[in-house]
């Protein structure tokens, strides 16, 4: 494993020796506004596209636990998402949104505020230009 700093300086990622898998921890986006405590896609932390396989422990607190799958992902890319056990706020699920115009499973395409799925842990694979499936 080798630690590589994000060019934007915001996320520290760790790649395995093949360079195809990375581990990157992110802070979930805040769930605020009239839908509290239910998040919308517009407040989700957008995951950058780094590699074919991403393992993403999501740091959360009582108001931040939403992420959006990478907008520039390629067909066949995989994202594993789970709550970071070091997070505050006790046991919590992560709400995962697709990028705008894309969907997860059979949900309608996201408009930026809808079509999220609530997971304790999830394995997402991009199966077409506009669809992600959970496994």
54: its two tokens: 């991403």
Which CATH architecture group holds 2-134? Answer: Sandwich (2.60)
If one counts every other C-beta atom within 10 angstroms of the C-beta of residue 120, the result is: 11
If one counts every other C-beta atom within 10 angstroms of the C-beta of residue 26, the result is: 19
SS3 assignment for 86-115: CCCCCCCCEEEECCCCCEECCCCCCCCCCC
pLDDT at position 1, please?
41
Predicted confidence (pLDDT) per residue in 21-43, tens digit = 666 677 676 655 555 555 555 67
């Amino acid at each position: 494993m080798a630690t590589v700093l994000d060019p934007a300086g915001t996320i520290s990622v760790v790649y395995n020796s093949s360079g195809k898998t990375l581990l990157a921890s992110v802070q979930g986006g805040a769930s605020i506004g009239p839908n509290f405590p239910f998040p919308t896609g517009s407040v989700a932390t957008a995951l950058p596209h780094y590699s074919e396989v991403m393992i993403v422990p999501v740091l959360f607190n009582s108001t931040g636990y939403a992420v959006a799958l990478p907008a520039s992902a390629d067909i066949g890319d995989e994202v594993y998402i789970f709550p970071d056990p070091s997070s505050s706020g006790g046991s919590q699920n992560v709400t995962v949104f697709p990028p705008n115009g894309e969907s997860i499973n059979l949900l309608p395409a996201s408009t930026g505020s809808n079509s999220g799925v609530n997971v304790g842990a999830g394995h997402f694979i991009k199966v077409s230009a506009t669809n992600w499936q959970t496994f």
